[in-house]
Homo-oligomer: A and B are copies of this chain.
Amino acid sequence: MEDLSGFKITVVGLGLIGGSMAKALKKLNPDKLWAFDKDASVLNNAKANNTIDDGFKDNDEVLAASDIVLIALYPKDTAEFIISKMNCFKQNAIITDACGLKQYIFEQVEKNIRKDINFIGGHPMAGKEVSGFKNADENMFVNSSYFLISSNNCTAESLSLLETIVYLIGCKNVIKVSADEHDQIIAYTSHLPHIIAVSLINCCNMDFQLNKISGGSFRDATRVANINSKLWGKLLIENRRNSLTMLDKFIDNLNTMKEYISNQDLVSLNSELDKAASKRKEF
């Protein structure tokens, strides 16, 4: 498969991720690319610049005609959309999402799901510190990783098709895991770095402008502190079992570093530094 001809696709939510997804998918020539958004001006823009064929606030007939529905809303809205539209989806359609948490979505969706559709969780490991369709980028997913979480309710063919599409939009790695594994991984590789960035910038007040007294290490470590609190507060609390476990592991390791520094134990400290350097070099 080299393009999306033969497929009608609907993207729900034309924010940064949904908008980037729509732009990336449109390049692959689907028969139709439709979008839903609550903001009519976003839909008009997307139609005007040929990102989508048509846009709607809501349209059950469009859903019933869509082979693939990609929902790029906040977690609660994603679950509500899937459940409320359950009777509208086309038979054998692939329904996928882009939420950063998977257990929550699966708990909500799996108990209410129709047996003749294919529900597959998705999570693109890509983003920017800006939001909205205006910042959407057709190359957002190039060389990134993408989690796919199959459900008890999807065929091997549908999973394979979605995997192919994910590679077609430019992703380099597809990681297939369970919802539980996904949420543990994300607590470490995404939620913890975001907590760290916030704490690092909040933990101390200096008499100087931070950008004047900082080099690249502080700048990089706090890049994501410019955070969307509306999204992230809920994510961290929803995934609290995993995010608290990872925070504890991290604080334990910091306390070990403290001990080495405090005891002037250069041998143990250097061994931690060397271990980190060697792990980071594998990147």
- Contact across chains for A218 and B190 when beta carbons are under 8 A apart: yes
Candidates B224, B237, B270; contact of A264 at CB < 8 Å: B237
A236 CA to B258 CA, complexed, in Å: 10
- Contact across chains for A220 and B220 when beta carbons are under 8 A apart: yes
- Contact across chains for B189 and A213 when beta carbons are under 8 A apart: yes
Q: Mostly helix, strand, loop or mixed at chain A's interface?
A: helix
- A31-49 near B? 1/0 per residue, CB < 8 Å: 0000000000000000000
A65 within 8 A of B: no
A223 CA to B216 CA, complexed, in Å: 9
A210 within 8 A of B: yes
- Contact across chains for A217 and B202 when beta carbons are under 8 A apart: no
Interface size bracket, A side: 35 or more
A185 CA to B206 CA, complexed, in Å: 8
A144 CA to B202 CA, complexed, in Å: 23
Give the distance to chain B from A219, nearest Cβ to Cβ, in Å. 7
- Contact across chains for A212 and B173 when beta carbons are under 8 A apart: yes
Which residue from chain B places its CB closest to the CB of A252 in the assembled complex? B203
A240 within 8 A of B: yes
Contacts of A262 in B (CB 8 A): 240, 244
Residues on A lying within 8 angstroms of B by beta carbon are 125-127, 144-145, 173, 175, 185, 188-190, 192-204, 206, 208-230, 232-234, 236-237, 240, 243-244, 246-255, 257-258, 261-262, 264, 266, 269-270, 272-277, 279-283
